[in-house]
Amino acid sequence: MRVLVIEDDAEMAQAIGIGLRRADMSVDVAADGTTGLGRAFDTDYDVIVLDRDLPGVHGDEICRRMVESESRSRVLMLTAAGTMDDLVDGLERGADDYLPKPFDFPVLVARIGALFRRAQPALPPVLRHGDVELDTAQHWVRRAGRELDLSPKEFGVLELLLASAGRAVSAEELLERVWDDAADPFTNAVKVTVSRLRTKLGEPPIIETVQRAGYRIRGPRGPW
């Protein structure tokens, strides 16, 4: 899951970014509305955590422009104001959810997860391919009943490949969806991660390289 945090309070933005990365999310941070709006349109984010009172472009205006552009990104608006009128106003301007400050961090993570699931095509909680099983909620992977110890990036790559149901996924798409904008676009991180993932998955191999197209899951898949 890739998340954009637009928050002008540097300390809060840093804390949110660190916490969400620990929850296995790829996170980019923008410190003002102008920068945040540009990033929101440049990158296909799953969820945008948006402070309402921003310098540059106000959070309400960012919401309005995203609605007009029919963006698929879900918006979770943060604000220091917590009245019912503020809640209604924020939702009417295009936010998908609303969280007043201060908030409990587990609540933020849960709200982001709920928005992400709403933005995706319906998938079962457990993805299966042959004897490989991946639980999207509890974050475990098993092959032939044996649980595998995967890093967050390995898990993210496997989840995206399984969810793509045989479609070839490019290295660029994997880098965009599983990593964040701190990743060097010329890095070999995807190639190295796929190699390690193949080793951990063992035989027979289920990830194949598609020439000039990326990677895909091959062979018969299990029932979903």
For the chain, domain boundaries: 2-119, 126-217
pLDDT at 222: 43
* Candidates 3.40.50.1980, 3.40.630.30, 3.40.50.720, 3.40.50.2300; CATH matching 2-119: 3.40.50.2300
pLDDT at 115: 86
Tens-level pLDDT at each residue, the chain (224 residues):
889 999 999 999 999 999 998 887 889 999 999 999 999 998 888 899 999 889 999 998 998 888 888 888 899 998 876 555 655 565 666 788 888 888 899 999 989 988 887 765 555 678 889 899 999 878 899 999 999 999 988 998 999 899 887 888 888 888 877 876 666 666 788 889 999 999 999 999 999 998 888 899 886 544 43
**Residue 5, helix vs strand vs coil:** strand
- Across 174-202, b (16+ Cβ under 10 Å) vs e yields bbbbbbbbeeeeeeebbeebbeebbeebe
Cβ proximity of 47 and 76 under 8 Å: yes
Cβ proximity of 72 and 116 under 8 Å: no
Do domains 2-119 and 126-217 share one topology? The answer is no
Cβ proximity of 154 and 196 under 8 Å: yes
Q: End-to-end distance of the chain based on CA atoms, in angstroms?
A: 21
pLDDT at 167: 84
pLDDT at 224: 39
pLDDT at 223: 40
Fold of 126-217: Arc Repressor Mutant, subunit A (1.10.10)
pLDDT at 62: 92
Cβ proximity of 98 and 80 under 8 Å: no
Cα-based torsion angle of the residue sequence 10, 12, 13, 17 in order, rounded to the nearest 10 degrees: 140
Exposed/middle/buried for residue 223 (C-beta within 10 Å: 0-12, 13-18, 19+): exposed
pLDDT at 2: 86
The strand pair at 140-143 and 132-135 is best described as antiparallel
pLDDT at 57: 92
